[in-house]
């Protein structure tokens, strides 16, 4: 996924509840891996980390 498209998706996720943001990012990671199952927990944990870090950065900017 191109950086600009990823940034747009991230902005769209910000308006959603935390769990939904994580779910959507985890699904993006799954798709980026070619829809191969077997890494659901890793996708979820990576998505959770990314979302929480992005939230921390937004809080620091304001």
Residues in the chain: 62
Determine the average pLDDT of the residues in 13-38: 91
Full 3-state SS string of 3-42: HHHHHHHHHHHHCCCHHHHHHHHHHHHHHHCCCCCCCHHH
Judged by DSSP in three states, 36 sits in coil
pLDDT tens figures, 44-55: 999 999 999 999
Could you tell me the residue ranges of all domains in the chain? 36-62
In the chain, % of residues over pLDDT 90: 65
User: pTM to 2 decimals?
Assistant: 0.73
| DSSP 8-state assignment for residue 30 | H
């Amino acid at each position: 996924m191109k950086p600009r498209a990823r940034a747009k998706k991230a902005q769209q996720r910000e308006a959603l509840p935390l769990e939904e943001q994580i779910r959507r990012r985890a699904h993006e990671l799954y798709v980026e891996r070619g829809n191969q199952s077997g890494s659901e927990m890793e996708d979820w944990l990576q998505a959770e980390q990314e979302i929480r870090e992005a939230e921390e950065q937004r809080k620091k900017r304001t």
